[in-house]
Amino acid sequence: ELKVEQNPLFLSMQEGKNYTIYCNYSTTSDRLYWYRQDPGKSLESLFVLLSNGAVKQEGRLMASLDTKARLSTLHITAAVHDLSATYFCAVNTGTASKLTFGTGTRLQVTL
Amino acid sequence: DVKVTQSSRYLVKRTGEKVFLECVQDMDHENMFWYRQDPGLGLRLIYFSYDVKMKEKGDIPEGYSVSREKKERFSLILESASTNQTSMYLCASSAVSNDYGYTFGSGTRLTVV
């Protein structure tokens, strides 16, 4: 059974600081997805990582994938309050593009 | 603007009622999914469909059924609602390749009383 683990589960950080969220998964997969969820809202796609070594960046967020280590990271640079949300990683198990989601990392950026 | 539309944002139903949650996508996607989201448990897959009239059980199908009569519409049915089905329900769709990931609907918060 595929397990997807994120850490930390909760992260409180000050504006301007850097931090990394980690996503580990238990079986072979070459695709990984990151989503953002604002309170009371649905999930919004952030990054799609389709191969080993893939790196994507958007604004203050950068995601990378190491399929050999079964690890993806979401790096936050110089955090701002608007980045406060819950971030999910998800791994493709191959069956009809079925995704298994991590438990999420709730990020709170304080002023 | 491409969309996945869920028919209700909030729903309150009584125990034992039959409940229909509707989801429609306009992206011509082959795959459609129903998840439920609960605090501390993340997103759990209930059912998915990769073609019209096809369906597959996810991780927690008990107490649910689905219907996909047309490509754009995927319905989740709670045969006899129970209080432990109070949750946020999220519908999503994707292309076969899933190169762009899922597009999610806005969610339905269902309360069973």
pLDDT at residue B105 above 60? Answer: yes
Distance CA B24, CA B28 (A): 10
Query: Region B31-47: what's the mean pLDDT?
Result: 93
Quote the mean pLDDT of chain B.
Answer: 94
* Cis peptide bond N-terminal to B39, omega within 30: no
Residues of chain A neighbouring B41 (CB-CB closer than 8 A): 103
Strand partners, A75: A20, A62
Distance CA A84, CA A102 (A): 18
Which residue do the tokens 């059912």 mark? B47
Of all residues in chain B, the one with the smallest CA distance to A88 is B42
pLDDT at residue B12 above 70? Answer: yes
Is the Cβ pair A42, B100 closer than 8 Å? no
A4 Cα distance to chain centroid:
11
The model's confidence at residue B113, banded by pLDDT at 50, 70 and 90, is: very high
Size of interface A-B (CB pairs under 8 A): 61
The rounded average pLDDT for each run of 10 residues, N- to C-terminus, in chain A (111 residues) is 92 95 91 93 93 92 95 96 96 78 95 86
Nearest to B98 by CA among A100, A24, A57, A59: A100
